[in-house]
Structure 1
Amino acid sequence: MFAGWLTAVLVLVVVFDVVTRYVFNFSIVAMQEGEWHVYSLIFLLGAGWALKEDRHVRVDIFYTNQSPRVKAWINIIGTLIFLLPFSALAFFSSVPYFEASLRTHEGSPDPGGLPGRWVLKGAILLGFLLLFLQGIAELIKAARFLAGKNPEYAEKVG
């Protein structure tokens, strides 16, 4: 939901930037940086939600025509082999960058750019933490389905 509101903010920032650049012939560095900051937040904070709502990218040639039981196994294996290790690696690899950014009060290197780059680097940590936690939740749902304790899962995976 939060990422959805950020999309509206992104549209406003881009429109403002385009109008100032092409109508008034000047550019504001902070607005340009704001565009990619907001887009980054949408992506990072929306990834866990996309997984929860089954809106993420999937290789459908292996998945679409399978039974719910096979889909549950594919989800479990994919989560254990790809999602959880990648999310953990991204999270722990980002910690030093966040700490250094926070310690030095890192801001934009460009004149007129945005301060507080640590906020964006903190969003990397939060985004991958949320994705990791949602991956665990999805893993539990699939495992419970295979154990016969989550029949609603069959409706979700189709």
Structure 2
Amino acid sequence: MTILKKILKIIDTCSEYAGSLAKWFAWILVLAGAYDTIARHFFNAPTVWAYDVLCMSGGTLYVLGWSYDYLHDSHIRVDLLYRKLSPRKKAFMDLISAVFLFFPLMTAFLVSSIAWAIRAWRIKETMTATFWYPPAGPYRTVFAIGIILLMLQGIAKSIRDAYFLIRGESLD
């Protein structure tokens, strides 16, 4: 059991680090957006790079934050019934939802995002929204990493839920 706890702790730590890293992309969003706004409106000198930086920073913020949010149960949930359930019934509902909704959807996202990233690197894809044309490979790779981290956190949560259902006590 201690090996399982160590593995779960490693997954949780990866999600914590991803969340800590993601917050810095909020700063990049603010700084790049402010710089472009000031350059555009006060100096009539718009940038060619700010739009792509804003899109990639925002996307990176989201995908790296997914596993952190899942770890801290901060994701959006329609909880008309869920909040009234006992802890054991919540664990059961979470486990059933994970098996039939979360894992199939995340598996599809993971397969397509990895293929997307590999293709971007292979063909040296560039982002074409502006005239800057930054490489797409790094962003596509971060997207795949974010989904991997989210799936790992989903696996950790499902293991904890199953343990709680079987034993009636927390695995932590």
1:86-142 deviations in Å (ceiling 9; x for gaps): 111001012332122101221222564242211111112111111111100000111
1:54-110 deviations in Å (ceiling 9; x for gaps): 000001112111110111011101111111111110010123321221012212225
**In the alignment, what sits opposite 1:103?**
122
Residue 138 (structure 1) aligned with residue 165 (structure 2): no
**In the alignment, what sits opposite 1:121?**
140
What TM-score comes out, normalization by structure 1 length?
Answer: 0.89
State the AA in 1 paired with 2:92. Answer: W
**In the alignment, what sits opposite 1:46?**
65
1:1-158 matches, cutoff 5 A: 1-109=20-128, 112-148=131-167, 150-151=169-170
1:133-153 deviations in Å (ceiling 9; x for gaps): 110000011111112263378
Per-residue deviation, 1:2? 0.8
State the AA in 2 paired with 1:142. Answer: D
Equivalent-residue separation in structure 1 for 2:128 and 2:157 (angstroms): 40
- The question of whether the paired residues in 1 share the 8 Å contact of 2:127 and 2:133 is answered with yes
Identity %: 27
Q: Which runs of 5+ in 1 are unaligned?
A: 154-158
What TM-score comes out, normalization by structure 2 length?
Answer: 0.82
Local SS of the residue matching 1:64 = helix
Q: Which runs of 5+ in 2 are unaligned?
A: 1-19
1:27-70 deviations in Å (ceiling 9; x for gaps): 21211110010000011111011100100000111211111011
**In the alignment, what sits opposite 2:4?**
none
CA RMSD in angstroms comes to 1.7
- The question of whether the paired residues in 2 share the 8 Å contact of 1:141 and 1:150 is answered with no
**In the alignment, what sits opposite 1:156?**
none
